[in-house]
Every structure is written in C-alpha cells, then in structure tokens.
Amino acid sequence: MEIAQNQNDPSMVALHGRFDANECDRLDAFVQRMREKGQADLKLDLSAVSFVDSSALASLVWLSKWATANNQRFEVHNPSDSVSVILEITAIDRALTIRNTSPVPQ
C-alpha cells in the first residue's frame, strides 16, 4: 500500500492499494509522525483502495475515536465502491464521517 500526503492540504492523506493487517502499523506510524509535526486533523482518501480487511476497519475506528477524544477531525474521503460496500455491510459507515468530495490537487 502506498501512503501519500497531499502537499496543498497536509491533512489529506491518500492510500493506494490494499489496506489490510499487514499495512496498519505503517499507517499508524505515518499518522503518528503527522501528529508530532502538529498535523492532528486527518482526512483519509480511500478512492484508490481496493480492499480493507477487519484490521484496517479497526484502524479506521480507532483513528475516529482518537480524534473525537482529542477534539480533532477525522474523515474518510471518497471511499472506492468496494470499500463503500465493506463499510456498509459491516455498519462501520455509521461510526465514521464519510465525505464524497472533489479531489484536492496534489
């Protein structure tokens, strides 16, 4: 999975590929580094993610809970069709803020 931070909107992070248990630690570390640099709001662009497994779903929920507890913002942006269906049938879409927006220029 590739992780890329948007240069024009540092709170926007785009994931590419398969987001599964093998990748959760990498995303956690990436987000931790963002926070250490003062970037606590997070908008996660999942438009290019093909699959999320249960560990990835747990990561999303954890990020959402952390943001709520720390008065920060966490949003999922533009989930792919596959991810949208997975969020829907697991009912995790109800626990997240999901936005379908225009892509932010890199």
Residues that bind another protein in the complex, under the rule CB under 8 A = 18, 20-22, 50-55, 57, 81-82, 84-86, 88-90
Residue type, 48: A
CA Rg value for the chain: 13
Least distance CB 56 / another protein (angstroms): 8
Nearer to another protein among residue 7 and residue 54 (C-beta): 54
Residues 85/93, Cβ–Cβ less than 8 Å:
no
Residue 54 or 68 with smaller CB distance to another protein: 54
In single-letter form, the type of residue at position 30 comes to F
Token readout for 91 is: 């009912």
Q: How far apart are the first and last CA of the chain?
A: 18
Question: What minimum distance in Å lies between the beta carbon of 87 and another protein?
Answer: 8
Kindly tell me which of 6 and 50 has the beta carbon lying closer to another protein.
50
